Amino acid sequence: DQQVKQNSPSLSVQEGRISILNCDYTNSMFDYFLWYKKYPAEGPTFLISISSIKDKNEDGRFTVFLNKSAKHLSLHIVPSQPGDSAVYFCAASVSMTTDSWGKLQFGAGTQVVVTP
């Protein structure tokens, strides 16, 4: 049961342009969302997060948008740089039920390639 879905397995973008990564979820109890960047054989690196009480959060080149009614979030990277080439995962968690604490549900990831 895939509760977090990243339907685009890959994305190619030119350096300097905007990268937009999308993520959909099915569990309406998710109330905290995170984006991670991952290189092969390494652990995920935290990028940015957003609580369900907000619809936008910004940190430098990274902005996350949350549309609760559509159960959709997106990550915008502006401008894209060659070092951004990696796999990006969105993750979601539930804070209201104790049996969900400490657990992140991950999407399958989107491979981003930034070309010069």
Partner 1 sequence: KAGVTQTPRYLIKTRGQQVTLSCSPISGHRSVSWYQQTPGQGLQFLFEYFSETQRNKGNFPGRFSGRQFSNSRSEMNVSTLELGDSALYLCASSQMGVATEAFFGQGTRLTVV
* Least distance between partner 1 and beta carbon 36 (Å): 7
Q: Which residues bind partner 1 (CB under 8 A)?
A: 31-32, 34, 36, 41-46, 49, 51, 89, 91, 93, 95, 98-109
Please identify, using beta-carbon distances, which residue of 10 and 115 lies nearer to partner 1. 10
Which is it for the CA torsion 113, 67, 64, 96, positive or negative?
Answer: negative
User: Do 42 and 55 meet the contact criterion of CB atoms below 8 Å apart?
Assistant: no
Q: State the minimum distance, in angstroms, from the CB of residue 18 to partner 1.
A: 24
Q: How far apart are CA 48 and CA 92, in angstroms?
A: 12
